[in-house]
Amino acid sequence: MAKKKEKETKEEKETKITDLPGVGPAVATKLEDAGYFDLMSIAVASPAELGDASGLSEASARKVIQAARKMMNLGFEDASEYLKKREEIFKLSTGSKNFNALIGGGIETKAITELFGAFGSGKTQIAHALAVNVQLPREKGGASGKAVYIDTEGTFRPERIKQFAEGIGADPSKILKNILVARAFNSDHQMLLLEKIPEMIKNGEPIKLLVIDSLTAHFRAEFTGRGQLADRQQKLNRYIHQLSKLSDQYNLAVLVTNQVMANPAMMFGDPTTAIGGHIVGHASTFRVYLRRGKKDSRVAKLIDSPNLPDNETVFFITTNGIADEES
């Protein structure tokens, strides 16, 4: 009986979005349909975004946001508290010890990791390997979770997933069921798919990895010429901001692949530059440049990281996955 009362008290203490002033059941339903399931998602929204999602005026939306911020008690905290939150983070193994060491132990949750490189450099292969490895238990470099794979270029191959699953001794049919794939046909569709992820998590899907392969393909194709560059960057910025919010809110590892172009102004060295400019560069927590190496190897070079030195390593793409040696 005491346990039952304790449970009820705990449930009563949990603040729902309907506890916010001006948010009744109808408005709450609209907000949830748009991906606003909790106070944090509302507290970090802009009045214009929240107004569009809920049907409220911008002034009313602002009041709702301010109320959510007060309830959340958002503000400064000392670094020791921040360190405790960092302990929630885990890292997903790529399958290569060399690659894992380069990026500090694996693909990190609450972060965006960007892989960029030319065709055939191994971006999609690494994405496939991670979609398999995320399903492993923590002690084996996974998260006992599912992967969401947003495919913008038609490069997802279930046959390759089966090979990788067999490589780690897992049941291919079970591995395939735990990868939720969607083909995005344009940039609007790509953005819409992102909005569905919080709802899937709320419905009990243990999603721990989000793959976007590739991030910039549709934005690059739809916004051509210098006249549309500002519009493209603004839309891309909004999309990456949503990615960052998702990864932080739900403790997800986000892996994005990116296309490249040759920089004609580069007189010496490698002229390869990632698409998306400074917006993608600054938003990515870890940036890794991939290229072909000698004897069928691949070279991964860490370009940017908040806590690791620039470095590079060699790895191989084998039939069974990503490895340190050629099979």
Q: Where are the domains of the chain?
A: 2-72, 85-323
What is the CATH T-level fold of the domain 2-72, as seen in this structure? DNA polymerase; domain 1 (1.10.150)
Distance CA 212, CA 214 (A): 5
Query: With bands split at pLDDT 50, 70 and 90, how would you rate the model's confidence at 56?
Result: very high
* pLDDT for residue 298 is more than 80: yes
Backbone angles phi, psi at 322, to 5 degrees: -90, 130
Average pLDDT of 278-303? 89
Distance CA 129, CA 103 (A): 16
* pLDDT for residue 265 is more than 80: no
Average pLDDT of 19-44? 87
Query: With bands split at pLDDT 50, 70 and 90, how would you rate the model's confidence at 8?
Result: very low
- Which amino acid is residue 223, in one-letter code? F
* pLDDT for residue 270 is more than 50: yes
* pLDDT for residue 266 is more than 80: no
Residue with the two structure tokens 């449970």: 7
Average model confidence (pLDDT) for the chain? 88
Q: Lowest-confidence range among 128-137, 189-198, 268-277, 290-299?
A: 268-277
Q: What Cα–Cα distance (Å) separates residue 293 from each residue in 129, 233, 324, 325?
A: 20, 32, 13, 13
The pLDDT score that the predictor gives to residue 23 is 92
Distance of CA 16 to the CA centre of its chain: 26
Query: With bands split at pLDDT 50, 70 and 90, how would you rate the model's confidence at 279?
Result: low
* 85-323 belongs to CATH 3.40.50.300: yes
* pLDDT for residue 6 is more than 50: no
Q: Lowest-confidence range among 40-44, 149-153, 249-253?
A: 40-44
